[in-house]
Amino acid sequence: MSRSTLPDRCDVLVIGAGIVGNALVHHLALLGWHDIVQIDKGPLPNPGGSTGHASNFVFPVDHSREITDLTLDSVRQYREMGVFTESGGIEVARTQERMEELRRRMSSATAWGVESRLVTPEEIVEMVPFVDPDVVVGGFYTPSVGVVDSLRAGTIMRERAQESGALTTVPNVEVTGMTVTEGRVRAVQTDKGSIEAPVVVIACGVWSPRLARMAGAHIPLTPAVHQMISVGPCAPLAGTEGEISFPIIRDMDTFCYERQHGSDMEVGSYAHRPILHEPEEIPSIAQAKLSPTEMPFTEDDFDPQLEQALEIMPELLGDERAEIRYAINGLLSLTPDGAPVLGETPEVGGLWSCAAVWIKEGPGVGRAMAEWMTHGRSEIDLGASDIARFYPHQRTRAHIRARTSEGFNKTYGIVHPAEQWQSSRPLRLSPMHAAQRELGAVFHEAVGWERPQWYETNAGLLEEFGEAVMHRENEWDARWWSPIINAEHLAMRARGGIVDLTAFAIFDVVGPQALAAIQRIVVAQADVRVGRVIYTPVLDEAGGFRSDLTVMRLAHDHFRVVTGGAHGMVDKKWFADHLPDGARLVDLTSAISTVGLWGPRAGDVLGALTDDDISPESFAFATWRLIEVGELSVLASRISYVGEFGWELYVPMETGAALWDRLIEAGREHGVGPVGIGVYTATGRIEKGYRAYGAELDAERSLFETGMSRPRIKDADFIGRQAVLEQQGVAPRAVLCALTVDDHTCADGSRRYMLGGEPILTREGQLLTDGHGHHPYVTSAASAPSLGTHVLMAFLPPAQAVPGTELAVSYMEQLFPVTVARADATPLLDPDNLRVKGRYAELGPGTGGA
C-alpha cells in the first residue's frame, strides 16, 4: 500500500521509486521478502529522477554480455507487463569506419542471440522514409528494438508488490541521515521520522552518492547532462497512430538519436561537451522548472547537433512549422567505467547500491539485485557491475569526473576492446616504474596501475624471431598491440623473461580460524603444510565462479591470498564477508611488489643472485620459500601463469626497484630481459590453456564446464561444495575449448586476427546453441607465437566440443575456418608441463630446451 506515514521499522528499506527501485521491490516481494518499505523524496508516479525524462527506448545489443543479458531480461519483463512497443531500430553509419564497427555489432548480436542484420541506405529509407540516403552508408537493424512506458512499468511493479502485502511505499519522504554502528547500517532518518532497517538499498540514481555519503560509503557516479529536444508537429508523422510507428534511428557518427514520439521527433545527443553536476547541487523539486533532473537547456551545446540532425532528416526536421517544443539538459548517472554500480557497499554492511542503471536494464537489474540480496548470487553474473570493484582512488570525485568526462562521448563511440583511458594517469606506479620508462615501456592502465604492456627496447627481438612474431597488418587488429609482445613471448620461451606483477591484489588471512576460513572459501584443499602454494577456484553456493587465485600457507594460522588486480577488491570483499570469528583479513596490496621470473634460464638468473638452493629438485613446484637475493629478503613462490619454470618473487614495496634492477642486470648475461604484461595475460596463458576470471570464468560457469574439476572433491565443506557434488557426473551443457584459426585470409586478401567476443559458428555459418541456450563466442583470443597460430577459447555445445571438429569464427561479418584443438584444460603447448617442471632438457630441439 501507499501511505503518508513512515513505519518504525522494516526488513529492507528501498530508497528510490525510479525504474530500478520499483523493479527491485517487485522482485524482492516475489522472492519472499514480506516487510519492504520503499520511500522517495518525490511524488508518485514520477518522483522527478532520471526515469521521468528518459527517452525510454531499448536497443538490446551491447558489446557487454552482462548488459545485453540484463537488457533482454528487462524486455521480457516489459513485454509481460504490456508496456513494450516494438518499433525496430537502426544504428546508421555515415563512414566506412563506423560500418566496420556495425559489423562488430553484428558479432555481438549473433553471440548474444539477438536477431539483427546489416541494411543498405535503400533499405533504411524503406523503413524510415524521411532519412536522407545520401548521408548514410549503411545500418545495423535490430527488429526487436522498442520503446517502453517506464513510469507505467514502475507503477505496475510497485503495485504488484503492494498487492502481495509485502510492500509499503511512502512518497514525499526525504532522507536526512543514516545510522551506522559497528560497520552496519541500522536506521535511516528522514523528514518524516526515523526507520530502523537492517538492509537499506540506495536506488536514487543521480542522488545516490549523496545518500551513500550520509553513511560513510561511496557510490562512484556523477550526474551528467544528456541533451534532448522534441520537435513537432512533424507533417510526415501526423497521420501515424500510437506512440511510435517508425524504427528509431541512432545516428552513430554524430552521437545522436532520432526517436519518433507521436507527431514529434525526439533528438537526443551524446556529442556535446561533458556537462557534469554534483549531486548536492541538483535543484529541489520546488526549485526546478520541470523536474530536478530536467535542467535548463543550454542551446549553444546542442546547436552543432541540430545541424547534423538536419542532414539526416532534412525535410522532416527542416520544416519551419515543426517547433522545438521541449528541450532539456536531462541528468543521468555516469560511472567511471560506464558500468552500473550494484551490490553491497564494501564500507557499510547492509547498505546496498542499485544505481547507474538505464531504462533498458532496469527490470533485469531489479531481478538480479533481488536474487543477490536473497541468495547471495544472481542468475545473470553481475561481475562487471559490482560496487566492490572500485579501489579507493576510483571513488574520488576527481577520478569520477575525469573518467566520466572522458567516457561521455564514448557512449556512441567506436571503442576498441583494448582501448586505454587517458585521464587520471599516471596514478599507481610500481617501484620500478622509472627503470621501466628507461626501457621504453608502453604502459597500459589497470585499476590505476601503470603496467608495461611491452617494451620498445625489445624491438630488436623482432629481427631475431622474424616471421614467428605474427605481424598484424590490419590497423584495428593491431591497435593497442605490438608485435613486440609476441617477440617478448618467444624470448621468454627461448631464454626467459622478467615481468612486473606489482598490480596484484594481495591480502592475508590470519588468526586461529584462518585455516577454517580458507578451507571454507576455496575449492582446493587448504589444509596443506606450511610452505605450500595452492591454485584454486573460488565458487559461490551454486558452484559458479567467484574467482580463481593462489593461496600461500605462510604459517599454521596465516595464509596469503594473491589475486589479479582488476578483480582484487571484489575478491577481498568476498573473503571478508565469509570470515568466521577468529580470522581477520589484512590488505597488503600496497605493501608488496611482485616480479615474475620465468623461462629456461630463470634458474641461472636467480642463481647468480642467491646462494639458496633453487634447483627444481630442491625447490618444488607449488611451494614458496624465503630466499636471500643479495641483501634483499625475498619470498619466492614457484608457480607460473605462463607455463615456464620460475618464480613469483615478492618483496616489500620499497625494495621492488632494487630487486628489479638486480634481475635485469643478472638477466642480461643470459639474454633474459623485461617482458610486458601482454605476454602474461594473453599469449603466455593461452598457449597453456589457463583460464582467466572475467573472460572464461564467471558466476554462470561451473568447474565441469571449464574443465577445472579435480578427480577428488575435498571432504571439508566449502562454499559451493553441494552444488559441485550435484554437478558431478552430470554431462556439462557447454564445454570450454581451445580452437586454432586455420586460415586468416579475408575477402580482400589481407589477414585478420580476432580479438575476442566473436561468435563461433559451423563451417557453413550456422548458429550453434549450447545446453544453456547460449551461443558460443570467443572468450579470449591471442597469438600463440610458440605454436605459430592464433588461439581462441570458447564454450562449445558438447557435440562440437571434440578435438578436430571443424567450425568457423565470424569476424567483421566474414567467416574464418577454425578447428577445435582442445576440449579440456590440457595445454596446447607442452601438455606434459615439462617447462613448468624445469625439465627443459627433455623438450625437443628448437623448443627452448637447453
Partner 1 sequence: MTDVLVCVKRVPDASGEVVLNEAGDAVDGRYAGYTMSEHEECAVAIAVEIAGESGGEVTVLSLGQEDCVEQLRAAVAVGAHAAVRIDAQADGFGPGDVAAAIASAVREKEAGGTSYDLVLLGNDAADTGDHQVGIRLAHLLARPVVAGAQTITVAEGRAEVRAGTATGTVVYELPLPAVATVLEGGVQPRYPAITGRMRARKTPIEVLAPGVEPRGNGRLGLRVLPPPESQVEVLGHGTGAAVRLAQVLRELGVVR
Catalytic residues: 226, 257, 548
What type of residue is 203? Answer: A
Cα 633 to Cα 531: distance, rounded to the nearest angstrom = 16
By beta-carbon proximity to partner 1, the closer residue of 320 and 581 is: 320
Q: Does 225 bind partner 1 (CB under 8 A)?
A: no
Whether 760 and 721 have beta carbons less than 8 Å apart is answered as no
What type of residue is 807? Answer: L
Whether 562 and 552 have beta carbons less than 8 Å apart is answered as yes
Q: Does 231 bind partner 1 (CB under 8 A)?
A: yes
Whether 751 and 475 have beta carbons less than 8 Å apart is answered as no
Give the binding range for partner 1 (CB under 8 A) out of 47-55, 315-323, 411-419, 830-838.
315-323
Place of cell 616504474: 433
What type of residue is 671? Answer: G
Place of cell 557499510: 348
By beta-carbon proximity to partner 1, the closer residue of 308 and 333 is: 308
CB of 282 to partner 1, least distance (A): 8
Give the binding range for partner 1 (CB under 8 A) out of 56-64, 295-303, 356-364, 708-716.
295-303
Give the binding range for partner 1 (CB under 8 A) out of 251-259, 292-300, 341-349, 799-807.
292-300
For residue 722, the SS3 value is helix
Cα 245 to Cα 240: distance, rounded to the nearest angstrom = 7
Total residues in contact with partner 1, by rule CB under 8 A: 27
For residue 572, the SS3 value is helix
By beta-carbon proximity to partner 1, the closer residue of 172 and 833 is: 172
Binds partner 1 by CB under 8 A, chosen from 310, 384, 402, 439: 310
CB of 371 to partner 1, least distance (A): 35
Place of cell 545516490: 208
Strand ranges in 522-664 using DSSP code E only, listed in sequence order: 533-539, 545-555, 558-563, 584-587, 592-598, 624-629, 632-637, 646-652
Cα 320 to Cα 755: distance, rounded to the nearest angstrom = 48
Whether 817 and 764 have beta carbons less than 8 Å apart is answered as no
By beta-carbon proximity to partner 1, the closer residue of 290 and 339 is: 290
For residue 484, the SS3 value is helix
Q: Does 808 bind partner 1 (CB under 8 A)?
A: no
| Pattern 493-532, partner 1, x by CB under 8 A | ----------------------------------------
CB of 520 to partner 1, least distance (A): 53
Cα 21 to Cα 729: distance, rounded to the nearest angstrom = 41
Binds partner 1 by CB under 8 A, chosen from 273, 289, 397, 479: 289
Cα 486 to Cα 471: distance, rounded to the nearest angstrom = 9
CB of 744 to partner 1, least distance (A): 48
Q: Under rule CB under 8 A, which residues in 586-605 are in contact with partner 1?
A: none
Q: Under rule CB under 8 A, which residues in 258-287 are in contact with partner 1?
A: 283-284, 286-287
CB of 327 to partner 1, least distance (A): 9
Give the binding range for partner 1 (CB under 8 A) out of 68-76, 309-317, 607-615, 840-848.
309-317
For residue 465, the SS3 value is helix
For residue 188, the SS3 value is strand
What are the φ/ψ torsions at residue 558 (nearest 5 degrees)? -150, 115
By beta-carbon proximity to partner 1, the closer residue of 97 and 323 is: 323
Beta bridge partners of 584: 510
By beta-carbon proximity to partner 1, the closer residue of 314 and 338 is: 314
CB of 807 to partner 1, least distance (A): 50
For residue 277, the SS3 value is coil
Q: Under rule CB under 8 A, which residues in 713-772 are in contact with partner 1?
A: none
Strand ranges in 462-522 using DSSP code E only, listed in sequence order: 497-500, 505-510
CB of 281 to partner 1, least distance (A): 8
By C-alpha distance, which of 121, 97, 413 is closest to 255?
A: 413
Cα 140 to Cα 104: distance, rounded to the nearest angstrom = 10
Q: Under rule CB under 8 A, which residues in 364-403 are in contact with partner 1?
A: none
By beta-carbon proximity to partner 1, the closer residue of 289 and 425 is: 289
Binds partner 1 by CB under 8 A, chosen from 122, 182, 241, 300: 300
CB of 375 to partner 1, least distance (A): 38
Q: Does 480 bind partner 1 (CB under 8 A)?
A: no
Region class of 275: left (phi > 0), else alpha (psi between -120 and 50), else beta? beta
Q: Does 288 bind partner 1 (CB under 8 A)?
A: yes
Q: Does 228 bind partner 1 (CB under 8 A)?
A: no
CB of 299 to partner 1, least distance (A): 6
Whether 218 and 345 have beta carbons less than 8 Å apart is answered as yes
Is the Cα torsion angle 12, 13, 19, 20 positive or negative in sign?
negative
Place of cell 538499498: 201
Q: Does 295 bind partner 1 (CB under 8 A)?
A: yes
Whether 381 and 698 have beta carbons less than 8 Å apart is answered as yes
DSSP 8-state assignment for residue 679: I
CB of 262 to partner 1, least distance (A): 16
Give the binding range for partner 1 (CB under 8 A) out of 312-320, 634-642, 766-774, 812-820.
312-320
Output the nine-digit C-alpha cell for 21: 527501485
Binds partner 1 by CB under 8 A, chosen from 97, 303, 438, 527: 303
Give the binding range for partner 1 (CB under 8 A) out of 296-304, 338-346, 480-488, 567-575.
296-304
Q: How far from the centroid of its chain's Cα atoms is residue 8's Cα? A: 39
Element (H, E) at 344: strand 341-344
Give the binding range for partner 1 (CB under 8 A) out of 297-305, 391-399, 400-408, 428-436.
297-305
By beta-carbon proximity to partner 1, the closer residue of 286 and 731 is: 286
Q: Does 309 bind partner 1 (CB under 8 A)?
A: yes
Give the binding range for partner 1 (CB under 8 A) out of 255-263, 319-327, 352-360, 733-741.
319-327
Q: How far from the centroid of its chain's Cα atoms is residue 31's Cα? A: 27
Determine how β-strand 84-86 pairs with β-strand 36-39: unpaired
Q: Under rule CB under 8 A, which residues in 320-349 are in contact with partner 1?
A: 320-325
By beta-carbon proximity to partner 1, the closer residue of 120 and 284 is: 284
By beta-carbon proximity to partner 1, the closer residue of 181 and 287 is: 287
By beta-carbon proximity to partner 1, the closer residue of 193 and 296 is: 296
Q: Does 317 bind partner 1 (CB under 8 A)?
A: yes
Output the nine-digit C-alpha cell for 698: 564467471
CB of 51 to partner 1, least distance (A): 20
Binds partner 1 by CB under 8 A, chosen from 11, 86, 123, 319: 319
List Cα–Cα distances, 427 to 210, 430, 447, 450, in angstroms: 26, 10, 9, 7
By beta-carbon proximity to partner 1, the closer residue of 308 and 353 is: 308
Place of cell 527542416: 318
Place of cell 523528514: 191
By C-alpha distance, which of 343, 342, 370, 361 is closest to 28?
A: 370
Give the binding range for partner 1 (CB under 8 A) out of 303-311, 479-487, 603-611, 763-771.
303-311
Q: Does 306 bind partner 1 (CB under 8 A)?
A: yes
CB of 165 to partner 1, least distance (A): 19
Cα 370 to Cα 360: distance, rounded to the nearest angstrom = 17
By beta-carbon proximity to partner 1, the closer residue of 3 and 393 is: 3
Element (H, E) at 727: helix 721-727
Q: Does 43 bind partner 1 (CB under 8 A)?
A: no
CB of 322 to partner 1, least distance (A): 6
Binds partner 1 by CB under 8 A, chosen from 297, 421, 480, 621: 297
Q: List contacts with partner 1 (CB under 8 A).
A: 231, 283-284, 286-290, 295-297, 299-300, 303, 306-307, 309-310, 317-325
